[in-house]
Amino acid sequence: MIGVNRKGEVWVFVEHEGGTLSDVPLELLGKGRELADTLGVPLAALLLTGGDGDEMVRRLGQYGADKVYLVEHDLLRQYQTATFARVVCELVQAHAPQVVLYGATAMGRDLAPTVASALKCGLTADCTDLQIGDHTPPGGKELHRNLLLQIRPAFGGSIIATIVNFDRWPQMATVREGVMVMPEPDGRARATVVRHRASLNGFVAPLRILESQRREKKVNLKAARVIVAGGAGVGRREDFRLIWELANCLGGAVGASRAAIDLGFVDKDHQVGQTGTTVRPALYVACGISGAVQHRAGMEESAKILAINIDRSAPIFSVAHYGIVGDLRVVIPRLIRAIRSGARIEGLAEPLGGRAAASGDARG
């Protein structure tokens, strides 16, 4: 635990895979920049690596880091909790940052709570927004200025809670991938490098990692311009092919609600929402998705939302721009016919339906 340090920096823990930066630390640098500017302090990235740091340092600078704390050690070649937590704690104690942000990834959700426990400081998981603001404890008189307001859904998303941490610092939070908007890189920006020698010599890492396999996600929802998503309202796994057909017809990707995943309609990689991927496509078509807040949190910033649902009172309509109340088994085939003939009427060189082959079918 460290005390309140008003001059403390804003830090972003950098996740990377074999020298390639993940998206989430870059997204966090965007939000971190905003927080650091409001507080008038530097923004720093925390890079732990086996020794291939230079290129990553360059990119972190371009994405907004003023400073990179670079720790290179053979034991940091592969992530494991105890080693990384030890180094992060050491750095926090040496430099007393006021804010530390982590991606809410498998790694971040393993590392951040361990660091918080060791430092006896607070940690808020899966924040959907971060702001700077003031707080007065209930019944208290003292006003705590410029705290990190850690905003997250709770209770299955039925409420939005704002959490603060005013005495035992640093203020730490995890944020899911895709929630913060990735900043535009500035090719001329440079970060100062601060090398830190970790006290790891003689340290025995408790886990022996015998095998490690990574697989690419079957679908890249974040990059899709159009997403057609199905929910429990699709009814049966066989009928989920309608979702695929509409997506193919629009050259889009297939998304799904948690309920559709749980029912086994489609693979978990397709999940949109708080515990899946957060997306902002040009068009999001929600088919048979009631629109639980966890799902809405992952798609409500789409440019256009079309909701197709048989239940007029479904909450999905509250975030929709266009709505069709009806049975998706009837509506989707009509949509497909209209899109195909619409393309003909518009006289486009390539009928929209012709993109089906290019978009690929990632089922299976």
Partner 1 sequence: MGYHCVVCVKQVPDTKRLSGQAMKDDGTVNRAALPAIFNPEDLNALETALAIRDRWGGTVTVITMGLPKAADVLRESLFRGADRGILITDRRAAGSDTLATSYILSCAIRRLAPDLVLCGRQAIDGDTAQVGPQIAEKLGVTLVTYLDELLDLRGATLRAKRNLGNGFEIVEAELPVLLTVVDTANTPRPPAARRVMKFKKARCRSEVEQVVARELPTGGEDEKATEVARRCLALAERGLLMGQWNLDEIGADLTWCGLKGSPTKVHRVQSIVLAGGAYREFEASEDGVARLVRELIEDHTIG
Three-class SS of residue 125?
strand
Q: Which is nearer to partner 1, 187 or 216 (CB)?
A: 216
State in angstroms the smallest separation of the CB of 343 from partner 1. Answer: 7
Three-class SS of residue 220?
coil
Q: Which residues, including other chains, have CB under 8 Å from residue 279's CB and lie 6 or more apart?
A: 178, 221, 222, 224, 227, 255, 272, 298, 299, 302
Q: Which is nearer to partner 1, 155 or 188 (CB)?
A: 155
CA distance 106 to 125: 12
The angle that helices 81-95 and 108-119 make with each other, rounded to 10 degrees, is 50
Note whether 242 binds partner 1 by CB under 8 A: no
Note whether 250 binds partner 1 by CB under 8 A: yes
Q: Which of 341, 344, 360, 361 binds partner 1 (CB under 8 A)?
A: 341
CA distance 345 to 153: 45
Q: Which of 211, 223, 264, 364 binds partner 1 (CB under 8 A)?
A: 211
Beta bridge partners of 319: none
122-151 positions binding partner 1, by CB under 8 A:
122-126, 133, 135, 137, 149-150
State in angstroms the smallest separation of the CB of 290 from partner 1. Answer: 11
Note whether 168 binds partner 1 by CB under 8 A: yes
For 238, what's the count of Cα atoms within 13 Å in the CB-facing half-sphere?
0
Note whether 93 binds partner 1 by CB under 8 A: no
Total number of residues binding partner 1 (CB under 8 A)?
90
Note whether 194 binds partner 1 by CB under 8 A: no
279-298 positions binding partner 1, by CB under 8 A:
282-283, 293
Which residue in 242, 257, 258, 247 sits closest to 224, CA to CA? 247
Note whether 363 binds partner 1 by CB under 8 A: no
Note whether 222 binds partner 1 by CB under 8 A: no
Question: Which residue in this structure is represented by tokens 């823990």?
Answer: 13
Note whether 42 binds partner 1 by CB under 8 A: no
Q: Which of 195, 199, 318, 361 binds partner 1 (CB under 8 A)?
A: 318
